[in-house]
A and B are shown apart, each in its own frame.
Chain A
Amino acid sequence: MQNYDLVIIGGGPAGLAAAVAARNAGIENLLILERDRELGGILNQCIHNGFGLHTFREELTGPEYAGRFIEQVQTLGIPYKLNTMVLDLAADKTITAMSREDGLFRLQPKAVILAMGCRERPRGALNIPGYRPAGIYTAGTAQRLVNMEGFLPGRKVVILGSGDIGLIMARRMTLEGAQVQVVAELMPYSGGLKRNIVQCLDDFGIPLKLSHTVVDIQGRERVEGITLARVENGKPVPGTEEHYDCDTLLLSCGLIPENELSRAAGVAISPVTNGPTVNESLETSIPGVFAAGNVLHVHDLVDYVSEEAAAAGRHAAALIRTGQQVSGRTLPIRCRDGVRYTVPTSIRPEALDPDGTVTLRFRVDGVYRDKRIVVLAGSQPIFSRKRPVLAPGEMETVQLKSRLILDCPDVGELTVKLEDA
């Protein structure tokens, strides 16, 4: 068994940024395990532009954004293995992995960073009635077929779900010659970015129907049509059914962090995010196992994935260097009044850099206007920021000065909530 200080599971944006940060923090003996044929993860199929404004101050396509990090990994000489699937992660951090070239092998690093990303919610999770013909794809599968393989999965398309991948695929399919008839969204608001509605739907005259869902799929062999209906209080309204002829139904109905390995290892998982619960160092319930990126919680922008993963890389490096766990109090972070979850879920004041900051990321549970994001230490407000609009499709970030928490030595918990502005 070859030993590494740090093994990063996943060579997508999170894994790459974590590896670069860990190497820059002095970790020499590390390894990235990537299951696909190339580094870059899902960015390789996200050929549209719009990435990296935050990180690189310029607008890049997915492959270009990934390319920047891949170049750093290569320049730093960080080793990686492609086409390598991690089959198991044990509670003692033993990794069982496999590839054609290396066969079946085990590693037991001092620290692990989980960077496996997320996957799409399939049709079953939506329990759409009807037949099960060919022609029903998740938007991501269609994206891979079109962008990586050059195959059009269909010519007349209906998209269910207005997540960003669905919106992006509406434009991609249109530009490759398909006819996208409508995008239906169950919720009264879009799950994707507003700019994507403008440049992917409005530019091409594709209607977006909010509060609508697919109530029937027709066609025994190949999709022949679908029925949409308006939704009120989560239920389709009888009499509002509309038929659309189509040969393809694309689903873009949400992403689920891919935590099979984490669960097998016994990592505690949040029922809200479906990702691990982590402390301020992005360390899971298993000491030495860190998580970052979409495996931790689904992000809206890859820039934040990179930022978060770099933090995980630095924290893992610190743990490897000191070989010591921080002792002392743990403050849980509670969510209230519109805040669905936070990452991290707890903070250990002893682990904070007194002159630094700690980043809280979260999402809200509905569309809110004219609110304030408020953070309480115990019952004492320590942070407040006005937000004219908050929406579930967008991740919120709060940078808290460590000092604000360290100055409240007696509190037992932190709370993040929304208040009227």
Chain B
Amino acid sequence: MKQVHLICIGCPLGCPLTAELEDREVRSVTGNTCKNGEKYARKELTHPTRIVTSTVRVSGGELAMVSVKTASDIPKDQIFDCIHALKDVEVPAPISMGQVILPNVAGTGVDIVATKAVRRSRAGS
């Protein structure tokens, strides 16, 4: 039996978790103050995931950039694949909040969505 210490990233509390592992399987989780803590520890020790946030360029908008995120968490080891996929993306304004910017990013099955609305530039460029 192996003990692993983790900090839960589920919420700002940052609970210190202790997980017991046997043959790469999580036997128990302690230290969590809610059920999300246990879920987090199990996931983190088997297939860790993250929400990725970034920006992409906007054309013809009131703002130069629009903030985006993965609509749900993606495998942690695919964070940089996701960033690569966003490298040359440019989206024309107007953009609405939640609009899909890039479907199925890096083959994760997760869409990249806008987290902000951007209006068309008044200059009309």
Q: A175 to B54, Cβ gap below 8 A?
A: yes
In the complex, what's the smallest C-beta–C-beta distance from A82 to chain B, in angstroms? 12
Distance between Cα atoms of A293 and B104 in the complex (Å):
39
Highest count of chain A CB atoms <10 Å: which of B8, B10, B54, B80:
B54
Restricting to A51-70, which residues have a CB under 8 Å from any CB of B? 53, 59-64, 67
Contact of A61 among B10, B57, B69, B76 (CB under 8 A): B69
Q: What chain B residues lie within 8 Å of A63 (beta carbons)?
A: 67, 97, 115-116
Report Cα–Cα, A108/B93, bound state, in Å.
Answer: 39
Binary A-proximity of B48-75 (CB < 8 A = 1, otherwise 0): 0011111101000001110101000000
Contact B55 A47 (CB under 8 A): yes
Q: How far is the CA of A23 from the CA of B50 in the complex (A)?
A: 38
A199 touches B116 (CB 8 A): no
Which residues of chain B have C-beta atoms less than 8 A from A44's C-beta?
116
A59 & B51 in contact (Cβ 8 Å cutoff): yes
B54 touches A64 (CB 8 A): no
* Cross-chain contact A195 with B9 (CB below 8 angstroms): yes
How many A-B pairs fall under 8 Å by CB?
77
A96: min CB distance to chain B, Å: 28
Would you call B51 and A47 a contact (CB within 8 A)?
A: no
Q: Which single residue of chain B is at the shortest CB-CB distance from A64?
A: B115
Contacts of A67 in B (CB 8 A): 97, 116-117
Interchain CB contact under 8 A, B67 and A194: no
| Inter-chain contacts of A61 with B (CB < 8 A) | 53, 67, 69, 115
Q: Which residues of A contact B7 (CB under 8 A)?
A: 194-195, 197-198
Known: A61-B53, A199-B9. A148 touches B97 (CB 8 A): no
Q: Which residue of A lies closest to B65 (CB)?
A: A150
> Complex: how many Å from CA A47 to CA B97?
13
**How far does the alpha carbon of A147 sit from the alpha carbon of B51 in the complex, in Å?**
17
The distance from the CB of B51 to the nearest CB of chain A, in whole angstroms, is: 5
Complex contact B64–A149 (CB within 8 A):
yes
Contact of B21 with A by CB under 8 A: no
Complex contact A203–B67 (CB within 8 A): no
Complex Cα gap A60–B97 (Å): 12
B74 to chain A, nearest CB (A): 13
Residue B109 interfacial (CB < 8 Å): no
* B12 x A195 contact (CB < 8 A): yes
In the complex, residue of chain B having the shortest beta-carbon distance to the beta carbon of A175: B83
Separation in Å of the B70 CB from the closest CB of chain A?
Answer: 9
Q: How far is the CA of A193 from the CA of B10 in the complex (A)?
A: 12
Structural contact, A301 and B12, CB atoms closer than 8 A: yes
**A194 vs chain B, min Cβ distance (A):** 3
CB distance A175 to B50 under 8 Å? no
Query: Which residues of B have CB within 8 Å of A148?
Result: 63-65
Q: Would you call A49 an interface residue if the criterion is a C-beta within 8 Å of the partner chain's C-beta atoms?
A: yes
A53, B51: Cα distance in complex, Å: 15
Instruction: For A193, give its contact among B12, B83, B117 (CB under 8 Å).
Output: B12
Q: Which B residues touch A62, using CB under 8 A?
A: 67
Say if the beta carbon of A224 comes within 8 Å of chain B: no
- A194 pairs with B55, CB closer than 8 A: no
Quick one: closest A residue to B55, CB to CB?
A147
Bound-state CA distance A149–B61 (Å) is: 12
Whether B79 sits at the interface, judged by CB under 8 Å, is yes
How close is B96's CB to chain A, nearest CB, in angstroms? 10
Tell me the bound Cα distance from A50 to B52 in angstroms: 11
**Nearest chain A CB to B71 CB, angstrom units:** 11
Is B14 in the interface zone, CB < 8 Å from A?
Answer: yes
Q: In whole angstroms, what is the CA distance A59 to B14 when docked?
A: 15
Chain A residue numbers with a CB within 8 Å of B80 are 175
Determine if B11 is an interface residue (Cβ-Cβ < 8 Å). yes
Q: Which residues of A contact B65 (CB under 8 A)?
A: 147-150
Q: Nearest residue in B to A67 (C-beta to C-beta)?
A: B97
Contact B53 A203 (CB under 8 A): no
19 pairs, CB–CB < 8 Å, chain A vs chain B? A47-B115, A47-B116, A48-B53, A63-B67, A67-B97, A147-B67, A148-B63, A148-B65, A150-B55, A150-B64, A193-B12, A195-B7, A195-B9, A195-B10, A197-B7, A198-B7, A199-B9, A203-B79, A301-B12
**B interface residues with partner A (beta carbon < 8 Å):** 6-12, 14, 16, 50-55, 57, 63-65, 67, 69, 76, 79-80, 83, 97, 115-117
Closest 5 CB pairs of A and B: A194-B14, A47-B67, A63-B116, A195-B9, A61-B115
Known: A53-B11, A61-B115, A150-B57. 10 other contacts (CB 8 A): A47-B53, A49-B69, A60-B115, A63-B97, A194-B16, A195-B12, A198-B14, A203-B76, A301-B12, A394-B12
